[in-house]
Amino acid sequence: METVLNAPRSVLDSADLVAAAEAMIPFLREKAPETNKLRRPSDTVRARLKAAGLARVWQPKRYGGADILRAVGRGCGSTAWILAQNVQHNLMLANWPEQAQDEIWGEMPDALVSGILIPGVGKAVKVDGGYTLSGRWPFVSGCQIADWIIFTGDCVDSEGKPEELHFVVPREQVQILDTWYTIGLQGSSSQDCTLDDVFVPKHMTVSMHDLKGHGRSPGSKVNRGVAIQGPALRHVRLLHWLRRAGNRRSSGGLLRRQRPQAGRHHVRQQRGQLHDATGEGC
């Protein structure tokens, strides 16, 4: 039996989210110049994203999250970019231990989570109860309006081999540098972030090995929805291939027409298998 934790929250419906996103388009367009000028969404935009429930897409349903992500970019490209990062990290955080998810979403179900997953940038040292993390990470989109930020760091194990780890850190513990001056996505708040020996509890950490565990991450024990990542990633790869193929010419016209159809069929087949196994769509 799936339980939604008791708190002042409601389970979101994808149709309601679409309607909420559509309703925000005029507001986001109006605020887009200010977003570009500030190089981040304003506090007003941040509040509206949370109030509309859009920050909770891909958050596990047991915390009141929704099931499906829909684009909201017709309003403001920079804000949509940040929101895409936020909801992607909701899905990623579903792999963390339950204690970490409770700490992040238990008191703040609409928490905004930014992050950057560049290996080899951060350095972690194992200490009693967790790790200390140091480093400077570039292009952390949405960091100035985030509540939590995910960083990647290497920690040398007992055999002297570097282990790639992911850490979740409260924004208040992060130093944000004013480095984002660009022509495109001016308001995406993709600043550099630094940490200097910041302690991260063990339960706020997962290893890359865990994330590649084919549905056997710490969070998979409580979140069945983590299983959708396989079909979702295949769908993303198919879309990426279609975008690239659109600008190419080939003498094999029949083959060119069949390959996207075969890819779509494979994605649909996997979605059907997932529905049969869990009783839920994706």
Residue among 111, 114, 152 at smallest CA distance from 133: 152
Query: What are the domain boundaries of the chain?
Result: 14-66, 76-223
**Contact residues for 81 (Cβ-Cβ < 8 A; gap 6+):** 73, 141, 142, 185, 188
Residue type, 41: P
| Cβ neighbours of 60 (radius 10 Å) | 24
106 against 12, higher pLDDT: 106
76-223, which class in CATH? mainly beta
**Contact residues for 272 (Cβ-Cβ < 8 A; gap 6+):** none
Q: Is 50 helix (H, G, I), strand (E, B) or coil?
A: helix
What is the percent of the chain with per-residue pLDDT over 90, rounded to a whole number? 40
pLDDT-derived band at 216, boundaries 50, 70, 90: low
d(CA 154, CA 175): 20
pLDDT-derived band at 2, boundaries 50, 70, 90: very low
Tens-place pLDDT, residues 91-102: 888 889 999 999
Choose the most confident range, by mean pLDDT, from 29-33, 61-65, 234-238: 29-33
Q: With the CA atoms of 34, 194, 211 and 67 taken in that order, what torsion angle do they form, in degrees rounded to the nearest 10? A: -20
pLDDT-derived band at 196, boundaries 50, 70, 90: very high
For 90, left (φ over 0), alpha (ψ -120 to 50), or beta? alpha
Sheet strands (E) in the chain: 113-115, 122-127, 130-140, 148-156, 162-170, 175-177, 191-201, 205-207
pLDDT at 15: 77
Q: What is the pairing mode between strands 148-156 and 162-170?
A: antiparallel
pLDDT at 247: 56
pLDDT at 13: 67
CA 120 to chain centre: 20
pLDDT-derived band at 165, boundaries 50, 70, 90: very high
Give me the chain's average pLDDT, please.
78
- What does pTM read for this prediction? 0.64
pLDDT at 123: 96
pLDDT at 4: 44
